[in-house]
Structure 1
Amino acid sequence: MSGAARDPAKGRKRTGARVAAVQALFNAEASGESVETVLDQFLRHRLGAVPGQEGFEDGRVEDADAALFVRILRAAATEPGTLDTVIAGHLAPGWGMHRLDPVIRAILRAAGGELREKDGPPGRVVIKEYMDIAHGFFGGEEPRFCNGVLDAMARTLKPQDF
């Protein structure tokens, strides 16, 4: 996954944290490791610039707000079944979480974690940020799909923003 993304976060620490969160959630699901284990691995080995490495192509997020990264992961990992139920509630009938591309699942879970935070950013900011990330990973219809689900989730989890 790390080589697939374009670099939407260059110079944007908050966006970098969100990209790293999506990558970490993807890695946790793919490896079967806990979110806390992957979080620790990212903090030690994936966040920050390293001379001679090129960033996203090497699986690194050079410019990331580490505190935001940790908050997103922990929010997404708190009661993951409840978050998945919220996401699944905004999918077409007959579509379950298992039918989603794993990167899309990670995007929706990271965004859902942020949307669940009472003092988190406004829903529209979360949608825009994760849409930028979706466009970094996909060139087809996937970002449009993400937009629809993110909009519905934001209206459910942060109705005061709309």
Structure 2
Amino acid sequence: MTKPEKTNKRAASRSAARLAAVQALYQMDMTGIDLTAVAAEFQEHRIGEAIDGEEIHAAETAFFTDLIQGVVAEQRRIDPLINERLAEGWHLTRIDSILRAILRAGTFEILRRADVPARVSINEYVDLAHAFFEGDEPKVVNGLLDRIAKEVRPEELAPPAPDAPGVTAEQGQG
């Protein structure tokens, strides 16, 4: 297997892990089932299974586990971060459960998974929002995760300096 094939396979398995994590967080939120039970159910019965006859890419199990365990462990930090950045009059507890799961998982990943570039995390969770919603929700995910990432990882999201090597004057002005 070539290096690009390995990279693409890993990216696809992480995307599948993110989807499974959002689904698991949603299930925990809606049913009150605890983390251990949901993690076991997903690992035994859902991850890598076919849905409606379509094969789903195998999820990176360790990444899935880290996401759901991390969201639960960090929820007291994550929820206020999200709440403070929602539009006036919006509260995390009153938004759609899937959207809440997407925002929590994305926020955790930006906070604790420095091995994943912030832009990758943002794009992945925006893509997930598009899979579940047709309205403004993907824009909410993009805006909120972008704000958090700029605060938590400013060096990653700062525009290049106008005099940086390889940056033209026009690029530095954007």
TM-score normalised over the length of structure 2: 0.77
1:29-68 equivalences under 5 Å are: 29-49=29-49, 54-55=50-51, 57=52, 61-68=56-63
User: How many pairs are equivalent?
Assistant: 147
What does the per-residue CA deviation read over 1:73-128, in whole Å, with 9 as the maximum and x for residues that have no partner?
11111131211011111111222111211110000011111112153311111001
Larger RCO (alpha carbons 8 Å, 6+ apart): 1
C-alpha contact (below 8 Å) 1:24/1:42 kept by paired residues: yes
Q: Deviations over 1:56-87 (max 9, x none)?
A: x58x9552111110111111111312110111
1:47–1:141: structure 2 CA closer, same or farther, 3 Å change rule? same
C-alpha displacement of 1:36: 2.5
Instruction: Give me the CA root mean square deviation.
Output: 2.1
Residue from 80, 98, 105 that aligns with 1:103 = 98
**One-letter amino acid of the counterpart of residue 39, structure 2:** L
* Letter aligned with residue 149 of structure 1: L
C-alpha distance in 1, partners of 2:113/2:17?
19
Structure 2 regions of 5+ residues with no counterpart? 1-10, 158-174
Q: Could you say which residue in structure 2 is the equivalent of 1:121?
A: 116
Percent of pairs with identical residues: 37
- What are the residue-to-residue correspondences of 1:59-98 with 2, within 5 Å? 61-98=56-93
Q: Distance in 2 between matches of 1:117 and 1:142?
A: 23
Give the TM-score normalised by structure 1. 0.82
Residue among 146, 151, 171 paired with 1:151: 146
Question: 2:35·2:68 contact (CA, 8 Å) conserved in 1?
Answer: yes
Counterpart of 1:95, as a letter, is: W
Larger radius of gyration: 2
Residues 14 and 65 in structure 1, CA contact (< 8 A), matched pair in contact too: yes
